[in-house]
Amino acid sequence: MRVFSLENVINEFEVLSKDAGRQQTETLRWILEQNGEAEYLQSLGLAGRTDPESFKACVLDTSPVLTGKPITSISLSSGTTQGKPKFVPFNDELLQSTMQIYCTSFAFRNREYPIGNGKALQFIYSSKRVTTKGGLTARTATSNVFQSEQFKHTMKDIQSQCCSPDEVIFGPDFQQSLYCHLLCGLIFSDEVQTISSTFAHSIVHAFGTFEHVWEELCADIREGVLSSRITVPSIRAAVSKLLRPNPSLADSIHNVCVRLSNWYGVIPELWPNAKYVYGIMTGSMEPYLKKLRHYAGSLPLMSADYGSSEGWIGANVNPSLPPELATFAVLPNIGYFEFIPLEKSEVQDLEKSASTIHYIEAEPIGLTEVEVGKEYEIVGRHREGSRLPSTPEIQFVCRRSLVLSINIDKNTEKDLQLAVEAAALLAEEKVEVVDFTSHADTSTEPGHYVIYWELSCDATEEVLRACCNCLDLSFVDAGYVGSRKVGAIGPLELRVVRRGTFQTILHHYLGLGAAVSQFKTPRFVGLSNSTVLQILCRNVTGCTFSTAYGP
Ligand code: AMP
């Protein structure tokens, strides 16, 4: 019998984080000792030294992966940052640190919102499994985690066992898995304590689908027979075992669904014992919060931890903060982290007398040397821009490598998100921006920004024109404003795409081996991403140009 003590987990976390500097040195020593035999480390001339100074002197930050222990499998990153998935080694250490971070943030969550014994409605999905030339299994990092025994034990420890059988999580057809997650969630509706997914997008997507399939779900529950849309034999067999004719449950679901106004609060209505909704809600997930709050009604939203296929970075130990303010406490024993200070500097562009923001990069510093209020790029096993309000809690700002740019202008995914938020407010009450992305069109002179919007229903031309002008004016980066004023960047173009376009984009990524569990809509689509660009262009139903800087 495993004994899981929340207090122990929290105490352990506190001991670790109070002594973060020593922990980092120890962690680095441990990593270098474990991997001392690795060919790569041998070639750097560390000669057995394991201290931070020697490490900094010998290892450049472009270092390839260090590993001395066997790699158990390969993780495929989502590929939504660089356009194509990266192959990252996965091993038991990574699995252990994943469990550590799950338990740590759960302990803090449970202190404020205790859950009882029960189940979790988790919208989690595995990716396709491929075998590398070297004979290793490659799939997304989340799939590597979900299939492990430790994951199942940990979920049991933290009272978060998934309602759905493994056949649903690992099913080969995402739509069928999604339908069955919903069905299993409804079958166990009394027991469900939490609703979650890795990234919040999956929850919003699931309830968007629920709006269309709820009657079919009710029919399955009423008759005790699984819909013919489920054709994968393993999924059919596993889910059919859970299904019994239950007309009273079907009636109560039906009554809730017909009573709701535009699906507001559907989650607590159907899962009355649910305590909160949980998943990554920061960064590129923020645009989905509005819809998520709509479905969640009175239930609190809790943002999950910060990590990547390469490794974890921090846990959300202040779960009651709204997702927009979420911070992550870096766990000093799960990796060795360096931070590149990013200073914004106004650089005058003489020719156009516009100024643009460049980051001045300084030498990387250690975890305990970071200063409150400054922005840094994290160098661990990957790179991000993050803001550090207090040691060692960080706030996610954006992925630094992603920028929308024509010439001297620079706008991050955060800038785009803020512009879209401002413009969306102008859309009529009933019209929602379901999803969005952008493209820097330089095929004509001068180049211009193209923003793609998928809307929940048609908007009038007048509204779209107002939104388009608002978008153009919302990019306040000095390089952009200056270039627009002198005509070095042309009027911003807003293109509306058909409903379901972003669903097609999601399917395109799934076809490449990505998994819904790690999907992040690409916010900038470059020419190199020609398939996604073609999907967008094929689906344009209308476009309008900004007149914000004159006709
Ligand atoms: P993947 O490519 O699937 O490994 O996803 C890793 C990326 O997801 C990170 O580099 C981040 O950009 C993003 N990410 C992960 N956790 C968070 C978080 N809590 N908030 C914002 N973005 C996150």
pLDDT at 70: 67
State the Rg of the chain over Cα: 24
Residues 318 and 113: their CA atoms lie apart, in Å, by 12
Helical ranges in 306-408 per DSSP H:
none
Residue whose CA is at the smallest distance from ligand 1 atom 16: 306
- Where are any strands of DSSP class E within 368-508? 374-379, 383-390, 393-398, 403-404, 411-412, 433-441, 448-455, 493-497
C-alpha 403 to ligand 1 mean position (Å): 16
Ligand 1 atom index nearest CA of 316 = 19
pLDDT at 464: 94
Ligand 1 atom index nearest CA of 399 = 12
**pLDDT 10s digits, 184-212:** 999 999 999 999 999 999 999 999 999 99
Question: Which of 202, 280, 395, 516 has most ligand 1 atoms within 8 Å of its beta carbon, as the pocket-test mutant?
Answer: 280
Ligand 1 atom index nearest CA of 520 = 8
pLDDT at 344: 63
pLDDT at 163: 95
Dmax over CA atoms of the chain, in Å, equals: 75
277 token code pair:
């909704």
Ligand 1 atom index nearest CA of 382 = 10
Decide whether any atom of ligand 1 lies within 6 Å of the 185 Cβ: no
Residue whose CA is at the smallest distance from ligand 1 atom 22: 283
Average pLDDT over residues 443-471: 94
Residue whose CA is at the smallest distance from ligand 1 atom 19: 306
Better-scored residue on pLDDT, 346 or 278:
278
Is 261 exposed, middle or buried, given 0-12, 13-18 or 19+ CB atoms closer than 10 A? exposed
Q: Does the structure show a pLDDT above 70 at 3? A: no
Instruction: Assign 349 a pLDDT band (cuts: 50, 70, 90).
Output: very low
CA angle 487, 493, 499 (to 5 degrees): 170
Ligand 1 atom index nearest CA of 326 = 19
Residues 374 and 387: their CA atoms lie apart, in Å, by 6
Helical ranges in 158-263 per DSSP H:
166-169, 174-187, 200-223, 233-240, 247-259
Residue whose CA is at the smallest distance from ligand 1 atom 9: 308
pLDDT at 385: 46
Decide whether any atom of ligand 1 lies within 6 Å of the 282 Cβ: yes
Decide whether any atom of ligand 1 lies within 6 Å of the 139 Cβ: no
Decide whether any atom of ligand 1 lies within 6 Å of the 307 Cβ: yes
Q: Does the structure show a pLDDT above 50 at 381? A: no
Decide whether any atom of ligand 1 lies within 6 Å of the 516 Cβ: no
**pLDDT 10s digits, 14-45:** 888 888 888 888 888 888 888 877 777 777 77
Nearest alpha carbon to residue 311 among 95, 107, 24, 148? 95
Average pLDDT over residues 144-150: 90
Q: Does the structure show a pLDDT above 60 at 350? A: no
Is 241 exposed, middle or buried, given 0-12, 13-18 or 19+ CB atoms closer than 10 A? exposed
Q: 66 with 40: CB under 8 angstroms?
A: yes
Better-scored residue on pLDDT, 74 or 493:
493
Question: Which of 74, 520, 523 has most ligand 1 atoms within 8 Å of its beta carbon, as the pocket-test mutant?
Answer: 520
Q: Does the structure show a pLDDT above 90 at 371? A: no
The secondary structure element, H or E, covering residue 311 is strand 311-315
Better-scored residue on pLDDT, 512 or 249:
249
103 token code pair:
């338990």
Q: Does the structure show a pLDDT above 70 at 66? A: no
Please tell me which of 260-274, 335-349, 474-488 the model is most confident about, judged by mean pLDDT: 260-274
Residue whose CA is at the smallest distance from ligand 1 atom 18: 306
416 token code pair:
């785009």
C-alpha 546 to ligand 1 mean position (Å): 33
Decide whether any atom of ligand 1 lies within 6 Å of the 396 Cβ: yes
Residue whose CA is at the smallest distance from ligand 1 atom 20: 282
Average pLDDT over residues 441-469: 93
Instruction: Assign 389 a pLDDT band (cuts: 50, 70, 90).
Output: very low
C-alpha 519 to ligand 1 mean position (Å): 10
- Note if the pTM is more than 0.85: no
- Other beta carbons within 10 Å of 305: 21
pLDDT at 213: 97
pLDDT at 247: 98
pLDDT at 50: 83
Instruction: Assign 81 a pLDDT band (cuts: 50, 70, 90).
Output: low
Decide whether any atom of ligand 1 lies within 6 Å of the 518 Cβ: yes
C-alpha 21 to ligand 1 mean position (Å): 25
pLDDT at 348: 42
Instruction: Assign 383 a pLDDT band (cuts: 50, 70, 90).
Output: very low
Average pLDDT over residues 96-111: 91
Average pLDDT over residues 366-380: 81
Residues 2 and 455: their CA atoms lie apart, in Å, by 49
Residues 126 and 139: their CA atoms lie apart, in Å, by 8
* Cα torsion 122, 127, 132, 135: sign: positive
Decide whether any atom of ligand 1 lies within 6 Å of the 308 Cβ: yes
Output the average pLDDT for the chain.
86
Instruction: Assign 418 a pLDDT band (cuts: 50, 70, 90).
Output: very high
Residue whose CA is at the smallest distance from ligand 1 atom 10: 308
Q: Does the structure show a pLDDT above 50 at 478? A: yes
pLDDT > 90: percent of the chain: 51
pLDDT at 386: 47
Buried b (16+ CB within 10 A) or exposed e, 27-61: bbbebbeebbebeebeebebeeebebebbeeebee
Ligand 1 atom index nearest CA of 303 = 19
Helical ranges in 260-356 per DSSP H:
266-270, 289-296
C-alpha 431 to ligand 1 mean position (Å): 29
Residue whose CA is at the smallest distance from ligand 1 atom 8: 308
Residue whose CA is at the smallest distance from ligand 1 atom 17: 306
C-alpha 307 to ligand 1 mean position (Å): 6
